[in-house]
Amino acid sequence: MTPSTEPVRRPGLWALVEEQLALGQLIREYMIPVEVNNIWYALGGVLAIALALEILTGVLLSFVYTPDAGKAYDITRGLIQSRGWSVAINFHYYNAYLIFALVMVHMMRVFVSGGYRRGKQALWLVGVALAGLTFVASLTGEGLHWDEVGFAVPWHMSEFFQAIGLAETCNYTFAALLDIPSATAKLIQIYALHVSIVPISLLLCILLHYYLIRVKKISLPFWLRASGRTAPFTEHIRAWVVYGVVLLGIVLLAALFVPRDPGVAPQLLPSSPLFGAKHGPGALGAKPTFPISWTHGMNVFVGEHLGLEPDIWGTVIGMVVMLGALLAVPFLDRVESEPENAGAAFSWRQRGWAFVAMILFWLTMFVGVIQNALAKPG
């Protein structure tokens, strides 16, 4: 008799799901070099887990949040002061910091290890898109908080529309923002971006990112000697879980035990101590949180040191410089193969222009963050 070639079916619900969705070929039967099962490579997976939890807590918060300019601040303040919901909203808040940190660390790991070489430039570009989407998520999330700092998000958008002469056309004037019904329309737009457009775009980019890694193969760490041995991708996922439990456990502890101030009510509310103010949030001392703090810092920098008005051009210039620098990296790095040692990885002669682009990115962020920390009201 001819032995059966039928695959042995494992019992259980997960085995059924794995079989029907071909997860075995995607995960368990996908073999990767054992050298990539280290913390620097696993942090990319931890980032995916953190993003998934950010979306999950966002879904929970959407059940109790209403994008109404007259109510949003009180809703957010109530959630922060609630014993139960405070855990969800604080986890959502502190996890955004972890996501920002993981994006930066993962980006630098890929850059140093030359993970975009050997025809994998698209992999880097998708990563840049993911980084840009996390920035938009931080920006819109800040707006939904709807304290004076959150109110600065649509206020700065109004400044931009005024700078290009479209404020009246788009009804994005300061007067419109100080009117609760009109401001509600703007808050709904921010809400739609934050809860639907950005998460869907993130999911699509993550799937494309994984697909490209699967097809074009993952880069090897130059600091470890290649052994030629491989292991199932499930081992890599286990590393994600181990490091994820540690890092996200810290976030959970912060959500439980680090109190948050709901901030000052936005100036459009009659109950706000800033009601009737003659200046915008920035001039009144409102500063954005760290993931996007460089935007305000760049505004202050171009206004005070370059004399460029309106100072919203600081954010625009910063975005163009940082995005341009990241997009240029894989095309400025002309070496075809991945670095085999630290000397090749940090060779200024071979990778000089790519290093210039990366330095320009970090310098812009550094200037913005420091200037934001030093900025005074006015």
Q: What is the 3-state secondary structure (H, E, C) of the chain?
A: CCCCCCCCCCCCHHHHHHHHCCHHHHHHCCEEEHHHCCHHHHHHHHHHHHHHHHHHHHHHHHCCCCCCCCCHHHHHHHHHHCCCHHHHHHHHHHHHHHHHHHHHHHHHHHHHCCCCCCCCHHHHHHHHHHHHHHHHHHHHHHHHHCCHHHHHHHHHHHHHHHHCCCCCCCCCCHHHHCCHHHHHHHHHHHHHHHHHHHHHHHHHHHHHHHHHHHHHCCCCCCCCCCCCCEEEHHHHHHHHHHHHHHHHHHHHHHHHHCCCCCCCCCCCCCCCCCCCCCCCCCCCCCCCCHHHHHHHHHHHHHHHCCCCCCCCHHHHHHHHHHHHHHHHHHHHCCCCCCCCCHHHHCCHHHHHHHHHHHHHHHHHHHHHHHHHHHCCCC
Residues of the chain with pLDDT below 50 are: none
In a domain, 176, yes or no: yes
The per-residue pLDDT for range 299-310, each reduced to its tens digit, is: 999 998 889 888
How many domains does the chain fold into? 1
In a domain, 349, yes or no: yes
Q: Which of 62, 17, 107, 40 is nearest to 358 (CA)?
A: 107
In a domain, 121, yes or no: yes
* 62 and 243 Cβ atoms separated by less than 8 Å: no
Q: Residue 10: its pLDDT value, please? A: 63
In a domain, 166, yes or no: yes
Question: pTM to 2 decimals?
Answer: 0.90
Structure tokens at 183: 């401001």
The per-residue pLDDT for range 79-113, each reduced to its tens digit, is: 999 988 999 999 999 999 999 999 999 999 999 99
In a domain, 154, yes or no: yes
Q: Residue 26: its pLDDT value, please? A: 61
Q: Residue 230: its pLDDT value, please? A: 87
Provide CB contacts within 8 A for 77, sequence distance 6+.
262
Give the domain extent around 298.
Answer: 33-217+231-374
Q: Which of 141, 246, 239 is nearest to 190 (CA)?
A: 141
Provide CB contacts within 8 A for 128, sequence distance 6+.
323, 326, 327
In a domain, 309, yes or no: yes
* 231 and 36 Cβ atoms separated by less than 8 Å: no
In a domain, 137, yes or no: yes
CA-CA distance, 226 to 10, in Å (whole number)? Answer: 34
* 98 and 248 Cβ atoms separated by less than 8 Å: yes
Query: What's the CATH code of the domain at 301?
Result: 1.20.810.10
In a domain, 18, yes or no: no
* 284 and 273 Cβ atoms separated by less than 8 Å: no
Amino acid at 16: L
